[in-house]
């Protein structure tokens, strides 16, 4: 009886002592789980990208508006002003890890989030210097592998400013005339990361100032022009504001 049953099992599921047999048995098991709706899920296959400018930029984005959890990695932003950048972030995740990323919009909150559901992606990012959970308590700073190559450091700073930075125009009146001055501000409550950001700008021959504990500024027009020429931006919101300012420079309101 037992021998007959064993032979029948081999015919159905293959010989468990061979690779082909184990594969057949595994496929049969997956089909059984599907039919019985057990909720069993396969671990998603993840590509683990080598160090690159693209990975460094994504790490900068995550250091700004991102969160690395155990099961999900996400980037949240303003749906009214940064939707184009959110679509770009989605493409970065998919390009690097070969996994689908979701983009959800919360209209009432004017927010959107790019989410990758993968435990392995979170583990990989932690191995590359990202902090799992609270970035401030974890003392997040620029990862060492990024510091070691200038192109990686520049890409990280770009991702960081694109999410946590802003370009603004100050207007002030002198003797009845209105003058406008452009500025850049980067705000972050993670002090080691803020210090890294400022040091990186200085290595780019820029002149950042820090009048408050949690913010770094660029105020010189030449510095801002150099920043966007050397570091650049993947956030159309910043690019448009800078282009509009310099195209109208010298105008009087």
Q: Clarify whether residues 10 and 85 are in a common domain.
A: no
* 128 occurs within a structural domain: yes
Q: How confident is the model at residue 24 (pLDDT cuts 50, 70, 90)?
A: low
Q: Clarify whether residues 128 and 61 are in a common domain.
A: yes
**What's the pLDDT tens digit per position in 109-148?**
899 999 999 999 999 999 999 999 999 999 999 999 999 9
Of 123, 139, 156, 145, the closest CA to residue 231 belongs to 156
**What's the pLDDT tens digit per position in 57-92?**
999 999 999 999 999 999 999 999 999 999 999 999
Q: Clarify whether residues 58 and 131 are in a common domain.
A: yes
Q: Clarify whether residues 110 and 176 are in a common domain.
A: no
State how many domains the chain has. 3
* 147 occurs within a structural domain: no
Higher pLDDT, 194 or 177: 194
Q: Is the pTM of this model over 0.85?
A: no
**Residue range of the domain that includes 27:** 2-36
* 144 occurs within a structural domain: no
Q: How far lies 81's CA from each of 102, 118, 166, 179, 238, in Å?
A: 19, 28, 11, 26, 10
Res 249: pLDDT: 76
Does 43 score more than 80 pLDDT? no
* 98 occurs within a structural domain: yes
Res 170: pLDDT: 85
Element (H, E) at 72: strand 72-78
* 12 occurs within a structural domain: yes
Does 12 score more than 90 pLDDT? no
Characterise 98 by phi-psi region: left (phi > 0), alpha (psi -120 to 50), beta (else): left
Q: Clarify whether residues 194 and 241 are in a common domain.
A: yes
Does 51 score more than 90 pLDDT? yes
Q: Clarify whether residues 61 and 108 are in a common domain.
A: yes
Res 251: pLDDT: 44
**HSE-up of 81 (CA within 13 Å, CB side)?**
15
């Amino acid at each position: 009886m037992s021998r007959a049953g064993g032979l029948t099992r081999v015919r159905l599921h293959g010989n468990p002592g061979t690779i082909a047999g184990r594969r057949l048995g595994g496929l049969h098991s997956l089909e059984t789980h599907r039919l019985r709706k057990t909720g069993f899920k396969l671990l998603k296959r993840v590509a683990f990208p080598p160090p690159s400018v693209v990975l460094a930029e994504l790490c900068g984005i995550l250091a700004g508006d991102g969160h690395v959890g155990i099961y999900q990695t996400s980037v949240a932003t303003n749906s009214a002003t940064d939707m184009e950048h959110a679509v770009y972030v989605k493409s970065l995740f998919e390009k690097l890890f070969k996994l689908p990323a979701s983009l959800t919009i919360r209209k009432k909150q004017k927010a959107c989030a790019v989410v990758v559901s993968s435990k392995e992606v979170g583990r990989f990012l932690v191995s590359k210097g990202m902090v799992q959970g609270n970035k401030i308590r974890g003392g997040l700073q620029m990862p060492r592998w990024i510091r070691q190559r200038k192109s990686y450091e520049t890409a990280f700073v770009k991702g960081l400013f694109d999410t946590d930075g802003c370009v603004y125009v100050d207007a002030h009146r002198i003797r009845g005339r209105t003058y406008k001055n452009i500025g850049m501000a980067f705000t972050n409550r993670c002090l080691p990361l803020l210090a890294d950001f400022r040091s990186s700008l200085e290595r780019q021959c820029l002149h950042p100032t820090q009048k408050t504990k949690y913010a770094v500024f660029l105020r010189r027009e030449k510095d801002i022009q150099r920043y966007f020429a050397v570091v650049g931006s993947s956030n159309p919101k910043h690019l448009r504001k800078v282009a509009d300012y310099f195209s109208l420079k010298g105008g009087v309101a």
